[in-house]
Amino acid sequence: MSLVFTGCQTASDPGGAPVAALTTTSLPEPMTIAPPAPLAAPLPIPQPAPNLVQPPAIAPFTPANASPVGRPWPAGWVNAWVPLESWGKFNGLPKPVLLSGGKEPLYQLQSGNGLVLVKIGSPSVNMAGMQFGLGFAPRLIKGLPYVHSLDAQKTLQALADAFFRLPATNRTVVIDAGHGGRDGGTLGTTGHEQEKHYTLDWARRLAPLLAVRGWRVVLTRTNDIEISLADRVAVADRVKADLFLSLHFNSGIPNRDLMGLETYCLTPTGMPSNIIREYDDDVREAHPNNAFDEQNIQLASRLHGSLLRATGAVDRGVRRARFMTVLRGQNRPAVLIEGGYLSNVGEARRIAMPEYRQALAEGVARALE
């Protein structure tokens, strides 16, 4: 199995330039969607208190709270190859079981959150039935399976601990419909449907579903206007968002066979990205959103699983990217979802159906209950 990493064509920062200093004068006015009137028994919907400073709902990851279950990450497991068995033992798991041999042996670990399948030489790991991109392909050392310490800590451990908690009250989410205005995003297979219209429709379907779940929902755009990537980040800062979600559709051009869902979060420092584009993917970079590495992948996993269940789409994995300007400057957990490939005839046809976009909206909403 090999993964091909592609993406919609315009979500990147073409110059690879650092995020410019933000000004508040030119920002678009975000639109807050009020919770709709309930149909039957009215539910109390928490309203944000605008002048009240809320404590951060999700504690940022720091080495001091690296292990929410009280185990410090082993000092020797830094920039090193870790035996899969040792990582399992660290989590109280039984020894890895060899499922299949050959050139790229496949190992299985039984964890409390489901099976972990590690394939030697593979760019991804399968956890609880979902694909997660790795920074380093697992390798055999003296005949035993090893994973890189960054993958072990930032992906395997983050998902094994799964301590991400959504804020219960006074919670604000920014929904970012990708592209807009002159930036149409990628095109559907007939050459007419533009990504920007589908992302906006998805966002508009999603907003009321989140509002009834008690979220204050802020959209970066509610119509066909162009907004810079930096301004999309600034909106989230200004409304003190707890979460940021950017919605996109994908292009695999020239490969029209690619189809399925991909969910992205920022690459941890030290780790190569799963997708680079034209960006100079320097592993030494540390961005503001790297303070949320663990929450990012936990949120991404939660969204990805819910979206797969809601749509039945092909799983193309939770992946890491460093070039996405809308993610890396975020001071909160942030995820970018590619809701399918507009370059694939069958998937473009499904994306064109309102029912599919409603399923995408419900998939996101259910993950944020």
Binding site residues, Zn ion, CB under 5 A:
8, 11, 178, 185, 248
Q: In this structure, are residues 108 and 97 in contact, taking their beta carbons and an 8 Å threshold?
A: yes
Q: In the structure encoding, which two tokens stand for residue 296, read together?
A: 């990012």
Distance CA 336, CA 343 (A): 19
Smallest separation (angstroms) from Zn ion to the CB of 36:
28
CA angle 231, 235, 237 (to 5 degrees): 110
For every residue of 242-257, which 3-state class applies, written as one string? CEEEEEEEECCCCCCC
* Closer CB to Zn ion, 262 or 281, in the complex: 262
Strands 171-177 and 215-219: parallel
> What is the closest distance, in whole angstroms, from the C-beta atom of residue 18 to Zn ion in the complex?
22
Nearest-approach distance from CB 178 to Zn ion, in angstroms: 4
**97-100 and 106-111 beta bridge pairing:** antiparallel
Give whichever of 61 and 264 is closer to Zn ion, judged by the CB atom: 264
The residue among 131 and 199 lying less far from Zn ion, judged by its C-beta, is 199
Alpha-carbon gap, residue 173 to 26, rounded angstroms: 21
Provide, rounded to whole angstroms, the least separation between the CB of residue 246 and Zn ion: 8
By CB neighbour count within 10 A (0-12 exposed, 13-18 middle, 19+ buried), where does 238 fall? middle
- Tell me the closest approach of the beta carbon of residue 305 to Zn ion, in angstroms: 22
Q: Indicate the residue among 147 and 326 with the shorter CB distance to Zn ion.
A: 326
CB-wise, 6 or 172, nearer to Zn ion?
6
Give the nearest distance from C-beta 58 to Zn ion in angstroms.
26
Round to whole Å and give the CA distance between 297 and 327: 12
**Could you tell me the two tokens for 334?**
């942030």
Contact call for residues 294 and 333 (beta carbons, < 8 A): no
Nearer to Zn ion, 200 or 211 (CB): 200
> Given the complex with Zn ion, which of 107 and 279 has the nearer CB atom?
279
Cα→Cα distances 88→109, 152, 361, Å: 7, 10, 36
- The strand pair at 81-83 and 144-148 is best described as antiparallel
Instruction: State how far the Cα of 219 lies from the Cα of 181, in Å rounded to an integer.
Output: 15
Q: Smallest distance from the beta carbon of 200 to Zn ion, in angstroms?
A: 12
